[in-house]
Chain A
Amino acid sequence: MNAVTGPLESALAELLERFHAAEAVALGRAISLVENERPGFEDFLHEVLRVGPSAARIGFTGPPGAGKSSLLSVVATIWRTRNEQLGVVAVDPTSPYSGGALLGDRIRMSDLATDPGIFIRSMATRGSLGGLATTTKEVIDLMDAFGFDRVLVETVGVGQTQIEITAAADTVIVVLVPESGDAIQAMKAGLMEIADIFVVNKADRPGADRLVKDLRQGLHLRVGTVLESEPVYHGLDLDRIRRKESGEEFKGPGWSPPVLSTVAQSGEGVEHLMDMIEAHRSWLEESGELEERRRARGKVRIQDVVDRELRRTAWHSDALLAVLDQGLDRIQKGKDTPYSVAWDIVNRLLR
């Protein structure tokens, strides 16, 4: 596989053309190309990403059973009534035993199943552990480039760290339910750091008010004195945030995550959630945070590609594989260690 330079192979060139013509089939196929990392996928992404990002990328994360897909489906439905074009990526876990996956998130969105203004894609994690699939970020890029106003992402809900979503979305919504444990659990799971907006869903159930209160308190601590030495996620200015941690409304130049209550089934609280998503968007744009986040994403992407290319170059090279094999022999005989062999390979790679 060559670096991103040359012209696309004809099949991909045709796909690109249809992609630019906004054919849904072409987007579907392009996502497979990227998801399966088939030959040429980086060239394709290079062509597609010539237009910069423009879509609002919104992530929904949280423990299993919190109602992420229900909530996503409710807000998507409302955005559709406002004629916004939507891309949705729903990630479900791959079974570690069989390598297969059952992807059932579309069921929730069956009301939108024939709406041409929304494109829903299910992805299996395929062994990735951060709550997204390895290529979900690229798939979001594709959807952005395809021209959607918003790209919504739902992470897996299997209690793994959901940290990946912060690198994929501009606005991260952490969805909890009264049953999903107390605020301490949320803190332990690292959710305080990643949330731009907290939602306590199924808020008509017992324990909801308590969870809302505890979360607010937890956030108060977070931006208050106890953790002052530690920057909050995205490196916000603590002094500015400290002024307004208690309220739900955004006022100042900082952003402190509001804690909202919703009942996705009845739609209660959903309008308010959408207002806060808008408010967060405005803040991102006005504060310059959006540019920073995009820049941070760019950096990670470059690093990822370099990592991937180095890995590929190393392990697809017969010469280096031979070095590895010989190294193993020498380790067996006690003449080398894994470290000396690794250094040998790195040195050859860099040459």
Chain B
Amino acid sequence: MSTIEKEASGSSELLVLLREQEAELSELRERLSRWEQSYAQAQERDSLFSTVSGREIKPLYTPLDRSASQYQDALGFPGEYPFTRGPYSTMYRTRLWTKRQFAGFGTAKETNERYKYLLKQGQTGLSVAFDFPTLMGFDSDHPRSLGEVGVCGVAISSLHDMERLFEGIPLNEVSVSMTINGPAIILFCFYVAAAEKQGVSPRVLRGTVQNDILKEYQAQHAWIFPPEPAIRCIVDMFEWCSENTPNYNPISISGYHIREAGATASQELAFTLRNGFEYVERAIARGLDVDSFSPHLSFFFDVHNDFFEEIAKFRAARRIWARMMREKYQAKNPESWRLRTHAQTAGVTLTAQQPENNIVRVAYQAMAAALGGTQSLHTNSMDETLALPTEKSVRIALRTQQVLAFESGVTNTIDPLAGSYFLEALTDELERDALAIFEEIDCLGGVVPAIEEGWFQREISMSAMLQQREVEAGDRVVVGVNRFTEGSEEDEIETLRIDPVIEESQVAQMADLRAHRDPEAVERRLRELQESSRTGENLVPRILECARVYCTLYEIRRAMEDVFDSYKEPVFF
């Protein structure tokens, strides 16, 4: 007698029920095996039948694919542990996801005008895209910045630029998301100082800074310092923000860039969550209470082509995060278990050939994000493989979200695909994959040693190469690229051009700034920052002091770099 039977033996009714269920299951198994035999006779289409991540998909899923775990354990209710069905109890019935389009170009002044326009159109949140020099911690007038100032985002080299970026925009009302990592702590301080200038206290600031350095080493490569001091800066921010900015998310743990660099869905899921746990462990090691900072951890995932696998990924992510935070890290506050995420459609799936097709790709991906229960979404524009998007293509991308939200009906019920044999099986599979990858990372000694060995980078490159091979062999169809290519050459669309004058004007501004600030104060504050970098005290107040006297981004970076050293890319072919 099984344990269940033993427990049930008191009640003969229950026993009968169990037997009936068992009989039903065995009949199901039998019918499935018959169905499979007849299916085996069929001539399948010449197709891969696997996801873009290489996962084999069966022709049919049935109740037999469901995990043994009970509904309440594995799925539960939206807004309740383990959050598989959604982080909030009412989801899109009360509030749609935030349509947050990432924007920034040229100088602070130009971007400021764009932001004001967007706010007038009813947008409530801003998302700042910085140019490459800023992302790497270089001032606009540094020789390494040549040719890149203001090209792919806005150039911010000091508090002065940050003030101009938000001039006339009340920072106590607008939520601001900033995509910056290597020098995140510096740009964050510019932002806080700019708010101060407006008379806005940090306590009321709302928004997010990406600040996820681990995925930079693994995938996107906009790093400055080596892992240990870089992680210290992040924990400094957790600590400072938990005391001073109760409405601000000091990190957005990002799988997007990992996936874009070539990772599979399982790798994206596992690497991202494991990075998140790494930050949690580091903060706990600092002595922070897990429930003091965890409610402010936010996430950012990619939405790739494979519709169901992507939906399953979001659901698995919430379940894993909740379980680990509660069981392993002993978080008591349900807010610490709740994984909230931003999503962006996969830039890497866009094709330069027949660019209008990208509108369709983005639409499917966006729908997967909605069905996966994302909190905010950026939809890519069709022309992003050719240049920065034009106003028209940005508008189409935004309209895609609106059609999805208001016409498609997918927002009418919460987690509408739950209970699908296929989707639940996929969700379970992705969870299992992630746990196996966690184990592998632990065997390598943890996240940082694995980074230093180049393990993540190798894993990602390998996946990227396999995907490229499938496409080049023609096994993986990419419409307009390796199939249905008629007309690929003719479709030219208009693209946006950036004026090279921006760089000159930005360089002139810098000279002006350097001439008009208090050089003694600058030097003193930088020296103090350097001293604190050595001693290990929290760096946020020090960098804030530097920001207030108009030390530049690069000056602050240099002061820290002298102590912290710079990161060297490991070789990993």
Binding site for B on A (CB under 8 A): 65, 69, 102, 104-105, 107-108, 110-111
Contact = CB atoms under 8 A, between A and B. Distances in A.
Contact of A69 (B453, B571, B573): B571
Q: Which secondary structure dominates where chain A touches chain B?
A: helix
Q: Which secondary structure dominates where chain B touches chain A?
A: loop
A111 B573 CA distance: 20
Interface centre among B453, B569, B571, B572 (most CB of A within 10 A): B571
A105 B573 CA distance: 10
Contacts of A111: 568
A69 B571 CA distance: 9
Contacts of A65: 453
A105 B572 CA distance: 10
B326 to A, nearest CB: 32
Interface string B556-573: 000000000000110111
The 5 closest A-B pairs by CB, nearest first: A102-B573, A104-B571, A104-B573, A107-B571, A107-B569
A108 B573 contact: no
Nearest to A103: B573
A211 B125 CA distance: 58
Contacts of B571: 69, 104-105, 107-108
A246 B311 CA distance: 64
A102 B453 CA distance: 18
14 contacts: A65-B453, A69-B571, A102-B573, A104-B571, A104-B572, A104-B573, A105-B571, A107-B569, A107-B571, A108-B568, A108-B571, A110-B568, A110-B569, A111-B568
A114 B571 CA distance: 19
A71 to B, nearest CB: 13
Contacts of A107: 569, 571
A107 B454 CA distance: 13
Contacts of A102: 573
A98 to B, nearest CB: 14
Interface in B522-573: 568-569, 571-573
Interface centre among B453, B572, B573 (most CB of A within 10 A): B573
A111 B568 CA distance: 9
Contacts of B573: 102, 104
Contacts of A69: 571
Nearest to A267: B565
Contacts of B572: 104
Given A105-B571, A111-B568, 12 more contacts: A65-B453, A69-B571, A102-B573, A104-B571, A104-B572, A104-B573, A107-B569, A107-B571, A108-B568, A108-B571, A110-B568, A110-B569
Contacts of A110: 568-569
B117 to A, nearest CB: 42
A204 to B, nearest CB: 11
Contacts of A105: 571
A69 B569 CA distance: 12
